[in-house]
Amino acid sequence: MTTHLIIGGTGKTGRRVASLLHDRDFPVTSLSRPSFDWNDPATWSSVERPADSAYLTFAPDLTFPGAPEAVAEVADRMARAGVRRIVLLSGRGEAQAQRAECLVAEAAQRYGASWGTVRCAFFMQNFDESLFAEPLGAGHLAFTAGDVREPFVDLDDVAEVAVAMMLGEAPVNRAYELTGPRLMTFADATADIAAAVGRPIAYEQVTTAHLVADLVDAGLPVDEAGGLAELFGEILDGHNAHVVDGVREALGRPARDFADYAARAVAAGAWNGGEVAS
Ligand SMILES: NC(=O)c1ccc[n+]([C@@H]2O[C@H](COP(=O)([O-])OP(=O)(O)OC[C@H]3O[C@@H](n4cnc5c(N)ncnc54)[C@H](OP(=O)(O)O)[C@@H]3O)[C@@H](O)[C@H]2O)c1
């Protein structure tokens, strides 16, 4: 019996993909540091094993320098070793991410493998499993976005679409562009979270320099903080401010709404005074 390979299986999307596959008794091989490290090409041979499918996530972000070439090289090694379907996690409206998608598709096709892309809007789970969790728990979120609206996507939807492609239950050799059902500002999202938690939470728009300082205070290396702040400016300039129907195309049902996500996160213990939900 072969397996399903997950690169970044401990990450926000990777662990959901692993859990869906486990629930259906499919064997999963999960790779992350130290056995596989994007910063150490000597570890990339760990992906060279036959598998029914692979879920490929890059960290910290596909828009970082060298990322498209790195994912292309890893996809090439997978396909050459006999991985039959490669599904890439990608970002919406980001030129470099779309270049990575093309390179991964070419690598798969070179060896007769199939490919797929989950091309995602800003994750809802960034609010409770990532950078925003602690400030929201403390009652005050400071971020650079102003009036721009974003169709935040639920990672449980993203994982379901990825698994459907990995198992051949949704058509492959294509990208699914995945958004939630509603355009919202970051202040709207904060208000939905405050309503779900049952106490006030303030949203404050701040400068890029302020955000970078906050990210460095939160423990990010300066380069990564600067890169992320630059990325936020690029993706949140209004060009992604439209809802699309990729979740329904892949799964035949509507995408989950932000208010449902916030209620589930609260039930799981999110935003309870600065503790990050596990
Ligand atoms: N955040 C968004 O709103 C958004 C939207 C669209 C697309 N994306 C894309 O999502 C991807 C990030 O996914 P995510 O947010 O789910 O990740 P995440 O939750 O931050 O998890 C990162 C995963 O990668 C692993 N990892 C970290 N550094 C690594 C390294 N140097 N080498 C190998 N593995 C490493 C981590 O495991 P260990 O720490 O155990 O190694 C973990 O499994 C990026 O490529 C980005 O372009 C993000």
Q: Is the previous residue joined to 34 through a cis bond, with omega within 30 degrees of 0?
A: yes
This prediction has a pTM of 0.96
Between the CA of 63 and the centroid of ligand 1 the distance, in Å, is: 12
pLDDT in tens, 167-194: 999 999 999 999 999 999 999 999 999 9
Q: Would you state the pLDDT for residue 273? A: 74
Which neighbouring-strand residues pair with 53? 4
Percent of the chain with pLDDT over 70: 98
Higher pLDDT, 276 or 226: 226
DSSP strand pairing (85-91 vs 53-56):
parallel
CB of residue 89 inside a 6 A radius of ligand 1: yes
Between the CA of 252 and the centroid of ligand 1 the distance, in Å, is: 27
Judge residue 1's burial from the number of C-beta atoms within 10 Å of its C-beta, 0-12 exposed, 13-18 middle, 19 or more buried: exposed
Q: Which residues of 153-190 are buried (b: 16+ CB within 10 A; e: fewer)?
A: bbbbbbbbbbbbbbbeebebeebbbbbbbbbbbbbbbb
pLDDT in tens, 23-38: 999 999 999 999 999 9
CB of residue 167 inside a 6 A radius of ligand 1: no
Range 73-100 average pLDDT: 97
Range 232-253 average pLDDT: 96
Class of domain 4-120: alpha beta
Between the CA of 128 and the centroid of ligand 1 the distance, in Å, is: 15
pLDDT in tens, 263-272: 999 999 999 8
CA 15 to CA 10: how far, in whole Å?
5
- Listed in sequence order, the residues at least 6 apart from 185 whose beta carbon sits closer than 8 Å to its beta carbon are 145, 146, 147, 148, 149, 150
Contact 120, 151 (CB under 8 A): no
Using the predicted structure, report yes or no on whether residue 236 has a pLDDT greater than 80: yes
Between the CA of 120 and the centroid of ligand 1 the distance, in Å, is: 13
CATH dotted code for 124-151+180-239+256-278: 3.90.25.10
Contact 72, 102 (CB under 8 A): no
CB of residue 67 inside a 6 A radius of ligand 1: no
Between the CA of 7 and the centroid of ligand 1 the distance, in Å, is: 9
**Ligand 1 atom showing the smallest separation from residue 120 Cα:** 6
Using the predicted structure, report yes or no on whether residue 1 has a pLDDT greater than 60: no
CB of residue 59 inside a 6 A radius of ligand 1: yes
Give residue 277's pLDDT band: very low, low, confident or very high (50, 70, 90).
very low
Domain spans, the chain: 4-120, 124-151+180-239+256-278
